Amino acid sequence: MTAPGRVVLVTGGTRGIGHAIAAEFAADHAVAVTWRSTPPDPGAALAIRADLADPDSAARVVAEVLARFGRLDVIVNNAGQISPSPVEGLDAEAGQGLLAVNLLAPAALLAAALPHLAPGSAIVSISSVNAVLPPRGAVLYGASKAALNLWTRAMAKELGPRGIRVNAVAPGAITTPETPRPADLQQAFLAETALGRLGRPQDVARAVRFLASDAASFITGEVLTVSGGYRL
Protein backbone atom coordinates (compact mmCIF):
# COMPACT_ATOMS: atom_id res chain seq x y z
CA MET A 1 0.00 0.00 0.00
CA THR A 2 1.28 3.47 -0.87
CA ALA A 3 0.80 5.70 2.16
CA PRO A 4 -0.16 9.37 1.91
CA GLY A 5 1.93 11.80 3.90
CA ARG A 6 3.79 10.05 6.67
CA VAL A 7 3.23 6.70 8.37
CA VAL A 8 2.35 7.19 12.03
CA LEU A 9 2.13 4.50 14.70
CA VAL A 10 0.09 5.39 17.80
CA THR A 11 0.18 2.90 20.66
CA GLY A 12 -3.01 2.68 22.69
CA GLY A 13 -4.72 4.55 19.87
CA THR A 14 -8.33 3.45 20.30
CA ARG A 15 -9.47 5.42 23.35
CA GLY A 16 -9.00 8.71 25.17
CA ILE A 17 -5.89 10.71 24.32
CA GLY A 18 -4.59 8.01 21.98
CA HIS A 19 -7.80 8.04 19.94
CA ALA A 20 -7.60 11.83 19.63
CA ILE A 21 -3.96 11.60 18.50
CA ALA A 22 -4.80 9.02 15.84
CA ALA A 23 -7.68 11.17 14.59
CA GLU A 24 -5.45 14.26 14.49
CA PHE A 25 -3.02 12.55 12.13
CA ALA A 26 -5.55 10.58 10.09
CA ALA A 27 -6.61 13.38 7.73
CA ASP A 28 -3.18 13.71 6.12
CA HIS A 29 -1.22 10.63 7.12
CA ALA A 30 -1.46 6.85 7.23
CA VAL A 31 -2.12 5.85 10.84
CA ALA A 32 -1.59 2.50 12.53
CA VAL A 33 -2.80 1.98 16.08
CA THR A 34 -2.21 -0.68 18.69
CA TRP A 35 -4.91 -1.74 21.11
CA ARG A 36 -5.28 -4.21 23.94
CA SER A 37 -8.81 -3.98 25.37
CA THR A 38 -10.73 -1.28 23.43
CA PRO A 39 -11.49 -2.37 19.84
CA PRO A 40 -10.65 0.10 17.05
CA ASP A 41 -13.12 2.16 15.05
CA PRO A 42 -14.39 0.49 11.89
CA GLY A 43 -12.31 1.60 8.95
CA ALA A 44 -9.09 2.15 10.88
CA ALA A 45 -6.20 2.02 8.41
CA LEU A 46 -4.35 -0.59 10.47
CA ALA A 47 -5.21 -1.79 13.97
CA ILE A 48 -2.86 -4.20 15.70
CA ARG A 49 -3.90 -6.00 18.85
CA ALA A 50 -0.89 -6.15 21.15
CA ASP A 51 -0.01 -6.28 24.81
CA LEU A 52 2.99 -3.97 24.92
CA ALA A 53 3.96 -5.28 28.34
CA ASP A 54 5.15 -8.33 26.40
CA PRO A 55 8.63 -7.43 25.10
CA ASP A 56 8.17 -9.72 22.09
CA SER A 57 5.24 -7.64 20.83
CA ALA A 58 7.37 -4.70 19.65
CA ALA A 59 9.00 -6.53 16.74
CA ARG A 60 5.64 -7.91 15.60
CA VAL A 61 3.98 -4.48 15.69
CA VAL A 62 6.76 -2.89 13.65
CA ALA A 63 6.72 -5.76 11.16
CA GLU A 64 2.97 -5.39 10.61
CA VAL A 65 3.30 -1.65 9.99
CA LEU A 66 6.13 -2.19 7.50
CA ALA A 67 4.24 -4.98 5.74
CA ARG A 68 1.23 -2.71 5.27
CA PHE A 69 2.85 0.63 4.46
CA GLY A 70 6.47 -0.09 3.60
CA ARG A 71 7.92 2.40 6.04
CA LEU A 72 7.48 4.05 9.44
CA ASP A 73 8.06 7.76 10.05
CA VAL A 74 6.52 8.67 13.42
CA ILE A 75 6.04 6.68 16.62
CA VAL A 76 3.71 8.02 19.31
CA ASN A 77 4.18 6.13 22.57
CA ASN A 78 0.77 6.77 24.09
CA ALA A 79 -0.09 3.43 25.70
CA GLY A 80 0.33 3.72 29.44
CA GLN A 81 -0.69 2.23 32.73
CA ILE A 82 -1.51 3.72 36.12
CA SER A 83 -2.18 1.85 39.33
CA PRO A 84 -2.11 2.74 43.02
CA SER A 85 1.28 2.38 44.68
CA PRO A 86 0.95 3.30 48.35
CA VAL A 87 4.03 3.29 50.56
CA GLU A 88 2.48 0.58 52.71
CA GLY A 89 1.31 -2.54 50.98
CA LEU A 90 3.27 -1.83 47.80
CA ASP A 91 2.46 -4.35 45.07
CA ALA A 92 5.79 -5.18 43.44
CA GLU A 93 4.12 -7.00 40.55
CA ALA A 94 1.96 -3.96 39.76
CA GLY A 95 5.06 -1.78 39.89
CA GLN A 96 6.82 -4.01 37.40
CA GLY A 97 3.78 -3.76 35.14
CA LEU A 98 3.96 0.04 35.26
CA LEU A 99 7.59 0.05 34.20
CA ALA A 100 6.97 -2.56 31.50
CA VAL A 101 4.30 -0.46 29.77
CA ASN A 102 5.36 3.10 30.59
CA LEU A 103 9.11 2.78 30.00
CA LEU A 104 10.28 -0.54 28.61
CA ALA A 105 7.61 -0.75 25.88
CA PRO A 106 8.66 2.56 24.25
CA ALA A 107 12.29 1.46 24.46
CA ALA A 108 11.54 -1.92 22.87
CA LEU A 109 9.43 -0.34 20.14
CA LEU A 110 12.16 2.12 19.23
CA ALA A 111 14.78 -0.63 19.20
CA ALA A 112 12.64 -2.69 16.81
CA ALA A 113 11.87 0.27 14.56
CA LEU A 114 15.28 1.95 14.51
CA PRO A 115 16.74 0.08 11.52
CA HIS A 116 13.78 1.33 9.48
CA LEU A 117 13.67 4.98 10.63
CA ALA A 118 15.04 7.50 8.15
CA PRO A 119 16.42 10.96 8.95
CA GLY A 120 13.46 13.23 9.69
CA SER A 121 11.62 10.58 11.67
CA ALA A 122 10.15 11.56 15.02
CA ILE A 123 9.34 9.86 18.30
CA VAL A 124 6.82 11.48 20.66
CA SER A 125 5.97 9.90 24.01
CA ILE A 126 3.12 10.73 26.36
CA SER A 127 4.53 11.53 29.77
CA SER A 128 2.68 13.31 32.60
CA VAL A 129 2.97 16.31 34.88
CA ASN A 130 3.19 13.65 37.60
CA ALA A 131 6.77 13.05 36.51
CA VAL A 132 7.67 16.26 38.37
CA LEU A 133 4.58 16.61 40.58
CA PRO A 134 4.31 13.14 42.13
CA PRO A 135 0.75 12.13 42.98
CA ARG A 136 -0.05 10.93 46.47
CA GLY A 137 -0.63 7.19 46.48
CA ALA A 138 0.71 6.62 42.96
CA VAL A 139 4.39 7.38 43.32
CA LEU A 140 5.54 4.55 41.03
CA TYR A 141 3.42 5.97 38.22
CA GLY A 142 5.14 9.33 38.60
CA ALA A 143 8.51 7.61 38.81
CA SER A 144 7.85 5.66 35.62
CA LYS A 145 7.01 8.87 33.77
CA ALA A 146 10.09 10.60 35.18
CA ALA A 147 12.12 7.71 33.79
CA LEU A 148 10.36 8.15 30.44
CA ASN A 149 11.41 11.82 30.42
CA LEU A 150 15.03 10.87 31.03
CA TRP A 151 14.84 8.20 28.33
CA THR A 152 13.46 10.84 25.96
CA ARG A 153 16.43 13.12 26.53
CA ALA A 154 18.92 10.26 26.30
CA MET A 155 17.45 9.02 23.03
CA ALA A 156 17.38 12.55 21.61
CA LYS A 157 21.10 12.85 22.30
CA GLU A 158 21.87 9.43 20.89
CA LEU A 159 19.73 9.68 17.76
CA GLY A 160 20.29 13.35 16.95
CA PRO A 161 23.24 12.57 14.65
CA ARG A 162 20.91 10.32 12.65
CA GLY A 163 18.42 13.15 12.18
CA ILE A 164 15.80 11.46 14.37
CA ARG A 165 14.04 13.68 16.90
CA VAL A 166 12.72 12.42 20.24
CA ASN A 167 10.35 14.46 22.41
CA ALA A 168 7.55 14.00 24.92
CA VAL A 169 4.30 15.68 25.90
CA ALA A 170 3.33 15.90 29.58
CA PRO A 171 -0.44 16.36 29.97
CA GLY A 172 -2.04 17.74 33.08
CA ALA A 173 -5.63 16.93 34.04
CA ILE A 174 -7.34 15.75 30.85
CA THR A 175 -11.00 14.80 30.85
CA THR A 176 -12.09 11.81 28.79
CA PRO A 177 -15.16 9.56 28.87
CA GLU A 178 -12.90 6.78 30.16
CA THR A 179 -11.60 8.81 33.11
CA PRO A 180 -14.50 10.59 34.83
CA ARG A 181 -13.52 12.44 37.98
CA PRO A 182 -15.61 13.08 41.09
CA ALA A 183 -16.82 16.67 41.31
CA ASP A 184 -14.64 17.48 44.30
CA LEU A 185 -11.49 16.20 42.59
CA GLN A 186 -12.36 18.10 39.43
CA GLN A 187 -12.75 21.30 41.43
CA ALA A 188 -9.39 20.71 43.08
CA PHE A 189 -7.73 20.48 39.67
CA LEU A 190 -9.53 23.57 38.42
CA ALA A 191 -8.44 25.58 41.46
CA GLU A 192 -4.79 24.91 40.60
CA THR A 193 -5.05 25.38 36.82
CA ALA A 194 -4.34 28.88 35.54
CA LEU A 195 -6.66 28.60 32.53
CA GLY A 196 -9.54 27.47 34.73
CA ARG A 197 -10.57 24.38 32.78
CA LEU A 198 -9.61 20.76 32.38
CA GLY A 199 -7.77 19.74 29.26
CA ARG A 200 -9.29 17.92 26.31
CA PRO A 201 -7.69 15.02 24.46
CA GLN A 202 -7.45 17.24 21.40
CA ASP A 203 -5.22 19.66 23.32
CA VAL A 204 -2.67 16.90 23.74
CA ALA A 205 -3.14 15.58 20.20
CA ARG A 206 -2.32 18.95 18.64
CA ALA A 207 0.85 19.22 20.70
CA VAL A 208 1.90 15.75 19.58
CA ARG A 209 1.24 16.56 15.94
CA PHE A 210 3.32 19.74 16.24
CA LEU A 211 6.29 17.90 17.73
CA ALA A 212 6.10 15.26 14.99
CA SER A 213 5.91 17.86 12.23
CA ASP A 214 8.56 19.73 10.25
CA ALA A 215 7.52 22.86 12.16
CA ALA A 216 9.40 21.33 15.11
CA SER A 217 12.42 20.25 13.05
CA PHE A 218 14.87 21.93 15.47
CA ILE A 219 13.21 20.65 18.65
CA THR A 220 14.46 17.48 20.30
CA GLY A 221 14.97 16.20 23.83
CA GLU A 222 12.12 18.34 25.15
CA VAL A 223 9.14 17.56 27.36
CA LEU A 224 6.28 19.89 26.41
CA THR A 225 3.84 20.43 29.27
CA VAL A 226 0.19 20.68 28.22
CA SER A 227 -1.56 21.42 31.49
CA GLY A 228 -3.31 24.78 31.22
CA GLY A 229 -0.85 26.17 33.74
CA TYR A 230 -1.32 23.52 36.43
CA ARG A 231 0.39 24.49 39.70
CA LEU A 232 2.26 27.48 38.31
Please name which of 151, 223, 176, 135 lies closest in space to residue 12, comparing C-alpha atoms. Answer: 176
Report if residue 160 sits inside a domain.
yes
Report if residue 151 sits inside a domain.
yes
Non-local (6+) Cβ contacts of 85 within 8 A are 91, 94, 95, 98, 137, 138, 139, 140, 141
Report if residue 232 sits inside a domain.
no
Report if residue 45 sits inside a domain.
yes
d(CA 61, CA 43) in angstroms, rounded, equals 19
Average pLDDT, the chain: 93
pLDDT recorded at residue 86: 74
Report if residue 2 sits inside a domain.
no
Confidence of residue 177 (pLDDT cuts 50, 70, 90): confident
Counting every residue, how long is the chain?
Answer: 232
Report if residue 23 sits inside a domain.
yes
Range name among 19-28, 44-53, 91-100, 162-171 with the lowest pLDDT average: 91-100
Confidence of residue 4 (pLDDT cuts 50, 70, 90): low
Catalytic, 230? Answer no
What is the CB neighbour count within 10 angstroms for residue 118? 11
Is a pLDDT exceeding 80 seen at residue 88? no
d(CA 225, CA 227) in angstroms, rounded, equals 6
What is the torsion angle, in degrees rounded to the nearest 10, for the CA atoms of residue 83, residue 112, residue 58 and residue 56?
-100
Top-confidence residue, 118 or 39: 118
Report if residue 231 sits inside a domain.
no
What pLDDT digit, counting tens, does each position of 70-87 carry? Answer: 999 999 999 999 877 777
The CATH number linked to 84 is: 3.40.50.720
Say what the pTM is: 0.95
Strand 30-35, strand 46-49: pairing: parallel
Domain count, the chain: 1
pLDDT recorded at residue 83: 79
Top-confidence residue, 200 or 182: 200
What pLDDT digit, counting tens, does each position of 133-158 carry? Answer: 988 888 889 999 999 999 999 999 99
Range name among 73-82, 114-123, 175-184, 206-215 with the lowest pLDDT average: 175-184
What stretch of H or E contains 116? none
Distance of CA 127 to the CA centre of its chain: 7
pLDDT recorded at residue 43: 66
Report if residue 204 sits inside a domain.
yes
The residue annotated as part of the active site, out of 25, 35, 69, 141, is 141
Residue range of the domain that includes 209: 7-226
pLDDT recorded at residue 9: 98
Q: Answer whether 211's CB lies under 8 Å from 187's CB.
A: no
pLDDT recorded at residue 39: 84
